[in-house]
């Protein structure tokens, strides 16, 4: 029982590990600790998806270490690359291992982690001392605290440390809460309260990416639900009483037009990167430049990031891995779980176009753990 509780607690540790010099060491250490427990107590089972994860992980490791070695980087940089490269694989495997655990407890763990995360976002906006404490603990204090003095509204970052990635987490949580509303064995009033709080915390994140993903996720949920000939009165319609005219006015008053224009700026950045790093074609088109070299560049597009770091081979492997995950998700027998995973994968694939959520050291393990848990 104690061992299982360590795994239930993993979701909390991943998201609430404090940032130390920009690194969440404890969360990473805890994931490796859980893997060590699995290795000690069980026979390792490797399915096709895990084999693909291993191939992809070792490919990017070979590219990174080869390019690092040729540039005479120190051993610390190489060790850091090795440690962080395995995080998606380890997170997925831990989630896969937890499939045998009590589903009710897993749902409760995900619920409480999301509920607390939503509360943190609200409290960051309401109380200055709490905001200062959590910004220092989880994020870039100077960067995000300055927004509260320079503009009309600041942005909530939760414990994720970035408002855009915080918004993505909240969208995932809202979709989870709506989809498994009757599966989560907690008072319905607490669940409704959590839903209301999470909607407002999404607004407080001030993320246009988050708003887009929320709308797309709800529409996709409607399509999947109707296509399965299920009624939606216990899912989508549960949020109708919350969203009224005043809420829409409040919602639109917090949208920053300058950040909407940033989408066009991203396109300009992508064109510059294409002209600088891809043209003329050379061996970097095949194997990329490595992650260390690309640290000095901003891409705001995960697919472009993969392509520039690991070349066309790395991008093909990544796309193929996700294609297999999608195909596997379509075979999930439980409709609610299938629907949740399909929406989760769909919104992450969209988010990757204008951001890099799978590079965030908190959001990425959480997403891959959910993949392993449900797929």
Q: Indicate the pLDDT class of residue 108, thresholds 50, 70 and 90.
A: very high
Average pLDDT of span 195-200? 94
pLDDT score at 161: 85
pLDDT score at 263: 57
- Is the pLDDT at 243 greater than 50? The verdict is no
- For the chain, the straight-line distance linking the first and the last C-alpha, in angstroms and rounded, comes to 24
Segment of 79-88, 99-108, 111-120 carrying the highest mean pLDDT: 111-120
State how far the Cα of 374 lies from the Cα of 180, in Å rounded to an integer.
Answer: 13
Cα distances (Å, whole numbers) of residue 116 to 132, 202, 211, 253: 18, 13, 20, 26
State how far the Cα of 90 lies from the Cα of 284, in Å rounded to an integer.
Answer: 28
- Is the pLDDT at 268 greater than 80? The verdict is no
pLDDT score at 352: 92
Angle among Cα 179, 182, 183 to the nearest 5 degrees reads: 80
75 versus 222: the higher-pLDDT residue is 222
Q: Which residues pair with 93 in a beta bridge?
A: none
What's the whole-model pTM score?
Answer: 0.86
Both structure tokens of 162: 């970035």
Cβ neighbors of 283 (< 8 A, separation 6 or more) are none
pLDDT score at 149: 56
242 versus 9: the higher-pLDDT residue is 9
Determine if residue 16 is left, alpha or beta; phi over 0 gives left, psi from -120 to 50 gives alpha, anything else beta.
Answer: alpha
Angle among Cα 112, 232, 175 to the nearest 5 degrees reads: 30
State how far the Cα of 370 lies from the Cα of 195, in Å rounded to an integer.
Answer: 20
- Is the pLDDT at 248 greater than 90? The verdict is no
Average pLDDT of span 85-109? 93
Percent of the chain with pLDDT over 90: 45
Rg, Å, the chain Cα set: 21
Both structure tokens of 215: 């709308």
Q: Which residues pair with 23 in a beta bridge?
A: 20
What are 287-329's pLDDT values in tens digits? 888 888 777 877 888 998 999 899 999 999 999 999 999 999 9
pLDDT score at 232: 43
pLDDT score at 244: 42
pLDDT score at 192: 93
Average pLDDT of span 121-140? 87
Percent of the chain with pLDDT over 70: 83
What are 321-361's pLDDT values in tens digits? 999 999 999 898 888 899 999 999 999 999 999 889 998 88
pLDDT score at 146: 66
Average pLDDT of span 11-17? 90
- Is the pLDDT at 273 greater than 90? The verdict is no
Cα distances (Å, whole numbers) of residue 184 to 21, 104, 114, 140, 209: 37, 7, 13, 34, 28
Q: Are 239 and 195 in contact (CB under 8 A)?
A: yes
* Per-domain boundaries in the chain: 2-261+313-374
pLDDT score at 373: 94
State how far the Cα of 155 lies from the Cα of 157, in Å rounded to an integer.
Answer: 6
Which one-letter DSSP state was computed for residue 161?
T
pLDDT score at 296: 80
Q: Lowest mean pLDDT: which of 71-85, 93-107, 183-197, 356-370?
A: 71-85
What are 37-73's pLDDT values in tens digits? 998 887 777 888 999 999 999 999 999 888 877 665 6
Segment of 61-75, 198-212, 227-241, 281-295 carrying the highest mean pLDDT: 198-212
């Amino acid at each position: 029982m104690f061992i299982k509780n360590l795994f239930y607690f993993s979701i909390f540790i991943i998201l609430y590990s404090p940032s130390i010099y920009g690194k969440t060491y404890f969360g990473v250490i805890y994931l490796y600790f859980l893997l060590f427990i699995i290795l000690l107590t069980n026979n390792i089972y490797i399915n096709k998806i895990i084999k693909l994860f291993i191939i992809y992980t070792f490919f990017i490791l070979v590219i990174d270490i080869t390019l690092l070695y040729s540039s005479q980087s120190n051993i610390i940089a190489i060790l850091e690359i090795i440690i962080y490269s395995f995080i998606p694989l380890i997170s997925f495997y831990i989630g896969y291992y937890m499939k045998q655990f009590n589903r009710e407890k897993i749902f409760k763990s995900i619920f409480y982690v999301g509920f607390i995360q939503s509360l943190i976002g609200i409290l960051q906006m309401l109380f200055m001392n709490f905001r200062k404490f959590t910004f220092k603990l989880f994020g870039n204090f100077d960067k995000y605290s300055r927004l509260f003095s320079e503009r009309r509204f600041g942005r909530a970052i939760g414990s994720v440390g970035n408002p855009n990635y915080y918004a993505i987490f909240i969208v995932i949580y809202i979709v989870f809460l709506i989809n498994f509303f009757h599966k989560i064995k907690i008072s319905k009033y607490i669940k409704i309260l959590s839903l209301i709080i999470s909607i407002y915390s999404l607004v407080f994140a001030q993320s246009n990416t988050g708003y887009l993903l929320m709308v797309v996720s709800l529409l996709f949920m409607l399509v999947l639900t109707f296509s399965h000939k299920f009624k939606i009165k216990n899912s989508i319609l549960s949020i109708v009483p919350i969203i009224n005219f005043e809420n829409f006015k409040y919602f639109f008053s917090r949208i920053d037009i300058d950040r909407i224009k940033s989408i066009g700026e991203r396109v300009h950045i992508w064109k510059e990167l294409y002209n600088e790093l891809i043209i003329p074609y050379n061996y970097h088109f095949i194997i990329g430049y490595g992650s260390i070299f690309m640290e000095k560049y901003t891409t705001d597009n995960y697919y472009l990031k993969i392509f520039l770091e690991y070349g066309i081979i790395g991008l093909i492997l990544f796309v193929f891995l996700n294609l297999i995950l999608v195909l596997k998700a379509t075979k999930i027998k439980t409709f609610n779980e299938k629907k949740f995973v399909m929406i989760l994968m769909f919104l992450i694939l969209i988010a990757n176009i204008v951001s890099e959520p799978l590079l965030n050291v908190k959001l990425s393990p959480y997403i891959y753990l959910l993949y392993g848990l449900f797929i």
